[in-house]
Amino acid sequence: MKFEILINILFDILSNKNTSAPHLAEKYDLSKRTIYRYIKCLEDAGVPIYSLPGRHGGGFSIVDTYRLSSSFMTVAEFEQTIQALTSITNSVPDKTLSSALNKLKAAVKNEYGKLDIQSGSLLIDAGPWGNTLGYKSKLAVLKRSIEETRRLFIRYHDRNGEVTERFIDPHIIVFKQGLWYIYAFCHLRNEFRFFKLGRIENATVTEEKFTKQNLSEQDLPLDFWNNNLVADRIELQIEKSVLSDVEEWLGIENIEKIGENFIASAPLAIDNGLVSKIMSFGGGVKVVSPEKLQIMIKDAAEKIISNYNQYFNRSEAN
């Protein structure tokens, strides 16, 4: 019997009003008989678990008055949890998280006496390289709009350079692939959509209230970045001078050394954004395949050359 599984089963039951034996058996790849043995161990340890009847074996629950002692966490676990919460609240101020953080610190003090929480190994910086304070200010405005369910007026720059002003009803702040987004109902487009925080020029909380919908993670189209694009297998040849930058972009696991060359292979959506990204490495990245991406890179490069040829031709004429 594994202690880790025993503890996980305890938290499964604490987190859900009704947790069935078949569900636990499937989750931990165990037989139902083994799950019942784990439940018996928890009962013997004094956890007030009771069984619920049902067609498919019913389930298990714990009396509502049951509470875990603060000693169920080790000092190291308390420290890591406090460090993680501190890092998150520094980026996205939240009254509930701050309250939870203070309670955790108090629990540590009560359980272990004076405890010096050391500097942690996790740091979340909400902002880009540059105006971090302005970035955090926008996050704070978005958070306030969500908490108070008050409509937001924003000035937004889309990826095509178009600038629009619109009212949105913010619902959820999302951190994905190192970037912050807001999932909101847009009154200009009359639909829910994602807005990249870095593209919001300014945001103002209005006095108008909105009704917040009950959305779960399953309701969010988190693959929005390629919803309308088909990913193709892209193969790139990389020079050593830009290798580290490409590793950060595609991930080291997608790059291998073949002979004297570094080759990257990954499924990517072919669009103007990909062309711009590849060209940002100068001549350090060469498209091996597919051909259509090679043509797009070639056309973009020829346009740049044409622009500068016109400049030098005018200079020579003068």
Adjacent-strand bridge partners of 170: 184
Please choose, from the candidates 249, 245, 291, 285, the residue with its C-alpha nearest in 3D space to the C-alpha of residue 270: 291
User: What percentage of residues in the chain have a pLDDT greater than 70?
Assistant: 77
Q: Which residues contact 152 (CB under 8 A, 6 or more apart)?
A: 141, 142, 145, 167, 168, 169, 170, 184, 203, 204, 205, 206
- pLDDT average, residue stretch 141-170: 91
Residue 117 has pLDDT above 70, yes or no: no
Give the confidence band of 291 by pLDDT, cuts at 50, 70, 90: very high
Name the range with the highest mean pLDDT among 97-106, 182-191, 218-227, 249-258. Answer: 182-191
Mean pLDDT confidence for 254-262: 88
| Omega before residue 48 within 30° of 0, cis | no
Question: 26-52, pLDDT tens digit by residue?
Answer: 888 888 889 888 888 888 878 888 887
**Which of 65-69, 76-80, 150-154 ranks highest by mean pLDDT?**
150-154
CB atoms within 10 A of CB 187: 14
Tokens 């676990």: give the residue.
Answer: 77
Higher pLDDT, 65 or 286: 286
Phi, psi dihedrals of residue 8, rounded to the nearest 5°: -65, -40
Query: How does residue 297 score in pLDDT terms, banded at 50, 70 and 90?
Result: very high
- Looking at the predicted structure, is the pLDDT value of residue 169 above 90? yes
Residue 9 has pLDDT above 60, yes or no: yes
The winner for highest mean pLDDT among 76-85, 137-146, 176-185 is: 137-146
Predicted confidence band of residue 206 (pLDDT cuts 50, 70, 90): very high
- Structural domains of the chain sorted by starting position, each given as residue range(s) with its CATH number in brackets: 3-62 (1.10.10.10), 73-112 (no CATH), 132-226 (2.30.30), 231-311 (no CATH)
Q: How far apart are CA 276 and CA 265, in angstroms?
A: 18
How much is the pLDDT for 184? Answer: 95
Please write down the HEC assignment for all residues of 82-112.
HHHHHHHHHHCCCHHHHHHHHHHHHHHHHHH
Check whether 267 has a pLDDT greater than 80.
yes
To the nearest whole percent, how much of the chain has pLDDT over 90? 25
How confident is the model at residue 201, as a pLDDT?
A: 87
- pLDDT > 90? residue 79: no
Q: Is the pLDDT of residue 162 over 70?
A: yes
Strands 200-209 and 150-157: antiparallel
Cα–Cα distance between 246 and 48 in angstroms, integer? Answer: 54
User: What average pLDDT does the structure give for the chain?
Assistant: 80
Q: 16-25, 135-144, 219-228, 255-264: which has the minimum mean pLDDT?
A: 219-228
Assess whether pLDDT exceeds 80 at residue 65. no
- pLDDT above 90 (res 263): yes
